Amino acid sequence: MNKSAREGISDVDWRDWRWQMRNRIRTVEALRDWVDPTQEEAKAITELAQRFHFVITPYFASLMDAENPDCPIRKQVVPNWAERFDPAGLADPLDEVAHSPVKNVIRVYPDRIAFCVNNECALYCRYCLRKRMVGDEDWTMQKRELEVALDWIAKTPEIRDVLLTGGDPLVFSDRKLEWLLIRLREIPHVELIRLGTRLPVTLPFRVTDSLCRMLKKYHPIWLNTHFNHPSELTPEAAEACDRLLRAGIPVGNQSVLLRGVNDSTEIMQTLCEKLVRMRVRPYYVYQAQLLEGTQHFRVPIEEGITIFKEMRGRTSGFAIPQYVLDTPHGKVPLDYPFAKGREGDDFVVEAWDGAIWREPNPR
Ligand SMILES: *Cc1c(COP(=O)(O)O)cnc(C)c1O
Ligand code: SF4
């Protein structure tokens, strides 16, 4: 069924990001064009879509395995009945509301902020940290609200690095995004502008030549996207990343470690090596938060640490992302403790293969 749904759509429409946005899947019936939903999935969509939006782009739906409900693409976006049972889950595990000096700004470091400029995404990931706000009408951010946040940034000279996130800032039109970039570039202490966007993954056609021409007027701009599984690395996604890179925008990747999606050394290594071939640098892999309705996605931290320890012996250093836990105090690296500490005049380390090395380290 997957193939026939795609065949009914012209290439011009398919590659038009606005067509993709208008034709997003929001019901069990619409999903049936792409996959055979299980009874459980159908029930979860009808009953849980109220709690957290069920929306998928046709492009991302076309990457799903039509026959296999365990498909790692499908798991990320199709509601699962297991979302109902999660006694440990919290609405706001990072206490972001408390770290908000002004609406839409999250500040946990002195020098840099996450600026949630938009509450909309092209699709909604079931494990989204910002579930409490994305897709929610109450959070619809008016220009006036953005102005208030921009004023706060202008009055706070310590802020040198502004991460535009959301939601997804690339859901904005070029014009609206440019308005925001102009306003930020008017603030002399803002050195760096970063975009956090999943659109290269979920709607790569959004990354048009005209968007890239606009962005490169406001350098330095860095961009982090969010690939979780090698199946997401399609030619379309690679072209989107290439267009950004050719506009001089360094592209990094942030994944979330998810049970049944990327929780093995083999899958993580394949993902990271393929990213590097696209010249996309693996930056962070997040431990899944204690976020309500996501228990079935969580992997114990020890398992995560082992994955990245093993990768050290198997692949290029720049293909290894940093595994981090996000906390109300910022991101904390969860590296394997290769450094064991001082023994007399030596500093003792353990290599990836278990070898112990003593480096003379007199005080
Ligand atoms: C992740 C994050 C940043 C950026 O952190 P880096 O480690 O510099 O990439 C800034 N502010 C908040 C609130 C964040 O969550
Ligand atoms: S794209 Fe990012 S912000 Fe949007 S739903 Fe997915 S994880 Fe959340």
Q: Report the chain's mean pLDDT, rounded to a whole number.
A: 94
Residues with Cβ within 8 Å of 178's Cβ and at least 6 positions away in sequence, in order, are 214
Say yes or no: 144 and 271 in one domain.
Answer: yes
Question: Does 139 or 41 have the greater pLDDT score?
Answer: 41
Beta strands in 66-191 (DSSP E): 105-106, 112-116, 161-165
Query: How far is residue 69 from each of residues 122, 321, 341, measured CA to CA in Å?
Result: 22, 28, 47
- 51 residue type, one letter: R
Give the pLDDT band of residue 134 (cuts 50, 70, 90). confident
DSSP state of 260: T
The whole-number pLDDT of residue 116 equals: 94
Say yes or no: 162 and 75 in one domain.
Answer: no
The whole-number pLDDT of residue 88 equals: 85
Atom of ligand 1 nearest to the CA of 106: 13
pLDDT at 344 over 80: yes
Say yes or no: 68 and 105 in one domain.
Answer: no
Nearest to 224 by CA among 321, 338, 87, 339: 321
pLDDT at 108 over 80: yes
How far apart, in whole angstroms, are the C-alpha atoms of residue 350 and residue 336?
Answer: 10
Say yes or no: 80 and 101 in one domain.
Answer: no
Is 116 a pocket residue for ligand 1 (Cβ < 6 Å)? no
pLDDT at 232 over 90: yes
In the chain, the percentage of residues whose pLDDT exceeds 90 is 87
Mean predicted confidence (pLDDT) in 322-339: 96
Flag whether 343 is in a domain: no
What is the CA(40)–ligand 2 centre distance, in A? 23
pLDDT at 295 over 60: yes
Say yes or no: 264 and 188 in one domain.
Answer: yes
User: Looking at the 3D structure of the chain, how many domains does it have?
Assistant: 2
- Measured by CA distance, the residue closest to atom 14 of ligand 1 is 114
Nearest to 157 by CA among 186, 187, 180, 184: 187
Phi and psi, residue 263, nearest 5°: -90, 45
Atom of ligand 1 nearest to the CA of 108: 13
pTM value is: 0.96
Is 120 a pocket residue for ligand 2 (Cβ < 6 Å)? no
pLDDT at 9 over 90: yes
Atom of ligand 1 nearest to the CA of 224: 9
- 228 residue type, one letter: N
The whole-number pLDDT of residue 2 equals: 57
Flag whether 351 is in a domain: no
How far apart, in whole angstroms, are the C-alpha atoms of residue 124 and residue 131?
Answer: 9
Mutation to probe ligand 2, out of 51, 94, 124, 291 (largest number of atoms < 8 A from CB): 124
Is 94 a pocket residue for ligand 1 (Cβ < 6 Å)? no
pLDDT tens for residues 253-266? 999 999 999 999 99
pLDDT at 50 over 90: no
How far apart, in whole angstroms, are the C-alpha atoms of residue 352 and residue 336?
Answer: 9
pLDDT tens for residues 206-222? 999 999 999 999 999 99
pLDDT at 127 over 60: yes
The whole-number pLDDT of residue 348 equals: 98
Give the pLDDT band of residue 197 (cuts 50, 70, 90). very high
What is the CA(300)–ligand 2 centre distance, in A? 22
How far apart, in whole angstroms, are the C-alpha atoms of residue 190 and residue 246?
Answer: 23
Say yes or no: 75 and 164 in one domain.
Answer: no
Beta carbons of 15 and 6 less than 8 angstroms apart:
no
Question: Does 87 or 116 have the greater pLDDT score?
Answer: 116
Beta carbons of 131 and 292 less than 8 angstroms apart:
yes
Domain containing 183 equals: 97-333
Nearest to 323 by CA among 259, 73, 331, 76: 331
In the chain, the percentage of residues whose pLDDT exceeds 70 is 98
Give the pLDDT band of residue 137 (cuts 50, 70, 90). low
Flag whether 346 is in a domain: no
Mean predicted confidence (pLDDT) in 140-155: 89
Give the pLDDT band of residue 37 (cuts 50, 70, 90). very high
pLDDT at 140 over 60: no
Q: Give the CATH number, domain containing residue 193.
A: 3.20.20.70
Flag whether 190 is in a domain: yes
Residues with Cβ within 8 Å of 357's Cβ and at least 6 positions away in sequence, in order, are 348, 349, 350, 351
Residues with Cβ within 8 Å of 353's Cβ and at least 6 positions away in sequence, in order, are 313
The whole-number pLDDT of residue 138 equals: 58
Beta carbons of 307 and 347 less than 8 angstroms apart:
no
Give the pLDDT band of residue 89 (cuts 50, 70, 90). confident
Say yes or no: 14 and 149 in one domain.
Answer: no
Nearest to 255 by CA among 285, 280, 299, 232: 285
**Pair of tokens at residue 340:** 């064991």
Query: How far is residue 49 from each of residues 80, 272, 286, measured CA to CA in Å?
Result: 10, 32, 25
